[in-house]
Amino acid sequence: MGKLFGTDGIRLDITSGLSPNFFTSLSHSICESFGRDSVFLIGKDVRLGGELIFHGIISGLLSGGCRAYNAGLVTTPSLQFSVKSDGLFDGGIMITASHNPPNYNGIKVIDSDGIEISRKKEEEIEEIFFSLKDEFRSRQIIGNHEVEYYPGVIERYINGVVSQVDDEIIRKKEMKVLLDAANSVGSLAIPGIIRKLGGKVISLNSHLDYSFPGRDPEPTPESLKLTSLIVRESGADFGVAVDGDADRSIFLDETGKVYWGDRTALVLSPFLKEIHQELPSRIFTGISSSSFIEDILKEKGIDVVWMKVGSVDIARRLKQEGGLLGFEENGGIMYPPHQFVRDAGMATALMMELMARENRRASDLFSIYPKTWSIKTKYPLKSREEGFKIYERIKNQYSKYRIIDIDGVKVILEDAWFLVRMSGTEPVIRVMIESKKEGKEKDILKDIERILQVE
């Protein structure tokens, strides 16, 4: 059977052409999986090809006997919030390629609980899709059903986020927040959250543009160099940069320093433990997050549950077992009282509340994390078989250390850790290293390169 879904949804390079027939067949398969008469909410970000994909999806849903409503331009978390909360929908489809480069587009399929569909349901849709003939007939003619516009998705989402924090204490601080919206739909939702909480918004890359002229859609220290400078020079209390569909958030302190998502989770978790004593004192994260957070949080009575990389699996386990937070190193923050999905707007509101309650600068809050030196790189990989052999060589060489091998191989050393993991989307093997001692990360990389047999 063929494979369509990646780590989170389906993404395609559209520069070589875009077939609406593909998305018609795909959405027809989604309809059949959910069941005839299922009702879907469809939204999209600003990416090239979004309108073409939208009409392909509508054709497939209607031909399968399903119904659809058009949410228009929305963020992924706002679409998920409506699917979960409005009581009208069996599922949702978000047209986006998230953080991928501008030449990509695709979809995320949302279940009735607002979370991306399970791996089992992905496989079911793939099986239906690859069993369809090139030409298929409509299974049900559903009259003259019109795909109506469904208004208010972003407004209800903003109100939902604001209801989860102490807006009174936040308003008193009158914070100045810089938002880098990546020229996409984050600019339609997150400013409203900040303003409702009494904040002043400094907007950067906030005009909608499918070419993403301001920066790469993925927020990283490299892509946020100008953002960092403007945060510092503008006198903002902090900055937040989002990806193309605004489910991931990377924070910057008032000095312009950029922090990965696991640092944000480290700062938020003790605060959430204090205000949500009814929730289990544990957090869920992918194996790519820093191992240093584990010891810090353990001292505060919070356990870290390590998982495979991928927000879908983290979200569903968080919902099943309960916890304070789910998160990813790349900036995905999942707050259970609101919804079990990555949500940049909710993360921004939580950061505002934490700063207001603590009455401290962002740089002071993030200082809980030690100074470290890190390397992130990747190497070509001939085959997955070669990758598994590399895993075994690493485990043999580092057998006396703690090893976590649920997704690649993560080795916990004294004052350092590293992860070697095959990519799920590229023929490469990724290497992440972090050390509390300057220079040690380079020595570790040399050892890993010997094991990889890099010339």
- 165 & 76 share domain: no
Which of 68, 66, 55 shows the shortest CA–CA distance to 23? 55
DSSP secondary structure of 55-86:
HHHHHHHHHTT-EEEEEEE--HHHHHHHHHHS
Q: Is residue 3 part of a domain?
A: no
Strands 39-44 and 91-95: parallel
Question: 182 near 219, Cβ under 8 Å?
Answer: yes
Give the end of a domain, one of 151, 170, 189: 151
Residue 32 lies in a domain: yes
Residues 175 and 271 in one domain: yes
Q: Are residues 178 and 324 in the same domain?
A: yes
Residues 193 and 135 in one domain: no
- Return phi, psi of residue 110, to 5°: -105, 135
- Does any domain span residue 43? yes
- Quick one: which of 363, 403, 90 has its CA closest to 231? 363
pLDDT in tens, the chain (455 residues): 678 898 889 998 888 777 888 999 999 999 999 999 999 999 999 999 999 999 999 999 998 999 999 999 999 999 999 999 999 999 999 999 999 899 999 999 999 999 999 999 999 999 999 988 655 555 555 555 779 999 999 999 999 999 999 999 999 999 999 999 999 999 999 999 999 999 999 999 999 999 999 999 999 999 999 999 999 999 999 999 999 999 999 999 999 999 999 999 999 999 999 999 999 999 999 999 999 999 999 999 999 999 998 899 999 999 999 999 999 999 999 999 999 999 999 999 999 999 999 999 999 999 999 999 999 999 999 999 999 999 999 999 999 999 999 999 999 999 999 999 998 767 899 999 999 999 999 999 999 999 998 75
Nearest to 355 by CA among 74, 209, 165: 165
CATH number of the domain encompassing residue 429 = 3.30.310.50
**15 is a domain residue:** yes
Q: Which residues of 315-326 are buried (b: 16+ CB within 10 A; e: fewer)?
A: bbbbbeeebbbb
The Cα–Cα gap between 95 and 73 comes to 10
Beta carbons of 189 and 71 less than 8 angstroms apart: no
* Best CA proximity match to 43, nearest among 85, 117, 96: 96
In angstroms, the CA 433 to CA 420 distance is: 9
The residue assigned the tokens 């946020």 is 224
Q: Annotated catalytic residue: which of 29, 33, 63, 98?
A: 98
Dist. CA 230–CA 307, nearest whole Å = 36
**What is the separation, in whole angstroms, between the first and last Cα of the chain?**
37
Task: Give how many domains the chain has, as a whole number.
Answer: 3
**Both 354 and 420 in a single domain?**
no
H/E element, 93:
strand 91-95
At 288 the three-state DSSP class reads: coil
Q: Does residue 316 sit in the same domain as residue 400?
A: no
Distance CA 195, CA 203 (A): 12
Cα 5 from Cα 111, distance rounded (Å):
15
- If asked whether residues 256 and 340 sit together in one domain, one would say yes
User: How far, CA to CA in Å, does 415 sit from each of 259, 296, 440?
Assistant: 20, 13, 9
Same domain, 260 and 360: yes
Phi, psi of 159 (to 5 degrees): -65, -35
- Here the CATH number for the domain that contains residue 328 is 3.40.120.10
In a domain, 180, yes or no: yes
CA angle 288, 407, 287 (to 5 degrees): 25
Q: Match 């191992």 to its residue by tokens.
A: 291
Question: Domain residues for 239?
Answer: 156-366
Measuring CA to CA, which residue among 219, 249, 255, 217 is closest to residue 235? 255
Tokens of 152: 């208010």
Query: What are 455's two structure tokens?
Result: 């010339």
Number of H helices, E strands in the chain: 15, 20
In this structure, is residue 38 part of a structural domain?
Answer: yes
Rounded Cα distance between 298 and 283, Å, is 11
Q: CA-to-CA distance for 353 and 168, rounded, in angstroms?
A: 10
Q: Which of 122, 151, 180 is at the close of a domain?
A: 151
Domain co-membership, 210 together with 346: yes
Asked if residue 339 and residue 379 are part of one domain, the reply reads no
Asked if the structure places residue 53 within a domain, the reply is: yes
Active site residue 98: yes
C-alpha closest to that of 342 among 245, 210, 220, 222: 245
> Does residue 49 sit in the same domain as residue 18?
yes
One domain for residues 260 and 355: yes
pLDDT at position 137: 53
User: Is residue 1, in this structure, part of any structural domain at all?
Assistant: no
Q: How far is CA 44 from the centre of its chain?
A: 16
Is the distance from CB of 132 to CB of 28 less than 8 angstroms? yes
Domain boundary among 366, 393, 422: 366
Beta bridge partners of 432: 376, 419
C-alpha closest to that of 177 among 242, 223, 225: 242
